[in-house]
Amino acid sequence: MKVIGADVVVTSPTRNFVTLKLTTDEGLTGLGDATLNGRELAAAAYLREHVAPLLVGRDPGRIEDTWQYLYRGAYWRRGPVTMAAIAAVDMALWDIKGKAAGMPVYQLLGGASRDGLLAYGHASGMSFESLDESIHMHLERGYRAIRVQSAIPGVRAVYGVAAQAQATGERYDYEPAGRGAAPVEEDWDTAAYLRHIPKVFEHVRQQFGAELPLLHDGHHRLRPIEAAKLGRSLEPYDLFWLEDCTPAESQQALRLVRRHTVTPLAIGEVFNAVWDFQQLISEQLIDYVRAAATHFGGITPLRKLMDYAAQYQIRSGFHGPTDVSPVGLAAQLHVGLAIHNFGIQEYMPHSDLTDEVFRQSMRFAGGYLHPGETPGLGVELDEQLAARLPYKPAYLPVSRLHDGTMHDW
């Protein structure tokens, strides 16, 4: 079998997605996700200009070799643009291999290690009341684990806290930044945040009991000693995890956090290679790996990362926001089903229009996700509909302290 076509589709149903479609001489096609939120066109150009021409004529069965060719061969290793592009190729090749074998990809990875993947949803509120409403709504939809984010008194706009209408709406495929030529600016006050968040979790535990798994995302905003303080102050509320408490490119900063708190830590949604995790895993500085197949070079390295993490009893918590396309989500559902050290899967449902552009075999029932039994990844792209929904500039917000200083994301 040979690859005869490598096409890049950029489409924007409710947000922008970059998809690679490989076509083979035997008529099989494969899809891969290279969506890089806010930098979509860079990933699309990397694929179109530098990768697609290299793929035509190659044997699609040689997944490992193609991955190494693109990773080692480029000279310029790693980085989010490169690794998103490689991820798309890797996923598309697994998709083709699954279709050729007549099996869902998880079967090729060793078969299912469980019946379904425990998923967590995003609840948030501008007040305790609206937060409670949002949690109730998620429980009604079947979620059995909830990420809790809250507005902070004295802070105008907190990232990840949906406005009221969105928090209670049917779907929450919101783009916190909205669309536009430049990022919107939000504000931030770490001291106010550290004072308020423990009260939020105290309230939620009182309302929803001791058993509901609760998660929280710090969005990389704290210095190590602040993160340590937050982790410690949340211990009475028994979090499933505290995510991205510090900007994690300084892996050793986590030593300090770890010294002071037993709140489990999750990190890595912005990481793109195993090297970003090396110290965190080998020193057991985290409990959950937040990588996304889309930003980590695809299924092949994600599987290897999880096997490495397994030696340290570290589990998966793959990044599943709406800016990972249904193709990228499918890729990590197959990995999550197959590996032994699965922990939890983030799940933010895409909009109805996105679900029309990408038809998925994946299902969510009773709080659990399953990639389905369709051969390959189980996602079909409606190219005609995709072509009618062109790219629109959209950016994540930035945040500034009240004196105007740019803050960590």
Known catalytic residues?
Answer: 159, 219
**Can you give the binding site for Mg ion, defined by CB under 5 A?**
217
Residues 317, 266 contacting (CB under 8 angstroms): yes
Cα angle, residue 91 at apex, residues 77 and 302 outer, rounded to 5° = 60
Secondary structure letter of residue 86 according to DSSP: H
Which two structure tokens, joined as six digits, stand for 353? 């229009």
Q: Which does 160 bind (CB under 5 to 8 A by kind): ligand GCO, Mg ion, none?
A: ligand GCO
CB neighbours of residue 345 within 10 Å: 25
CB closer to ligand GCO, 92 vs 324: 324
Q: Which does 294 bind (CB under 5 to 8 A by kind): ligand GCO, Mg ion, none?
A: none
C-alpha of 7 from chain center: 24
Among 70, 138, 323, 375, binds ligand GCO (CB under 6 A): 323
Residue 396 lies near ligand GCO (rule: CB under 6 A): yes
Q: Which does 385 bind (CB under 5 to 8 A by kind): Mg ion, ligand GCO, none?
A: none
> How far apart, in whole angstroms, are the C-alpha atoms of residue 34 and residue 300?
15
CB of 265 to Mg ion, least distance (A): 12
| Cα distances (angstroms) measured from residue 304 to each of 51, 80, 97, 296, 326 | 23, 18, 18, 11, 22
- The SS3 assignment for 395 reads coil
CB of 63 to Mg ion, least distance (A): 29
Among 33, 173, 186, 346, binds ligand GCO (CB under 6 A): 346
CB of 3 to ligand GCO, least distance (A): 30
Q: Which does 90 bind (CB under 5 to 8 A by kind): ligand GCO, Mg ion, none?
A: none
Which two structure tokens, joined as six digits, stand for 186? 């939000």
- The SS3 assignment for 371 reads coil
Site string for ligand GCO, 239-278 (x = CB under 6 A): ------------------------------x---------
Among 123, 2, 104, 137, residue whose Cα is nearest residue 59: 2
Q: Residues 26 to 45: which contact ligand GCO by CB under 6 A?
A: 37
Range list of H helices, 128-189 = 128-140, 164-168
> How far apart, in whole angstroms, are the C-alpha atoms of residue 67 and residue 89?
8
- The SS3 assignment for 145 reads coil
Residue 226 lies near ligand GCO (rule: CB under 6 A): no
CB of 8 to ligand GCO, least distance (A): 20
CB closer to Mg ion, 292 vs 369: 292
Site string for ligand GCO, 64-83 (x = CB under 6 A): --------------------
Can you give the binding site for ligand GCO, defined by CB under 6 A? 37, 160, 217, 219, 269, 321, 323, 346, 396
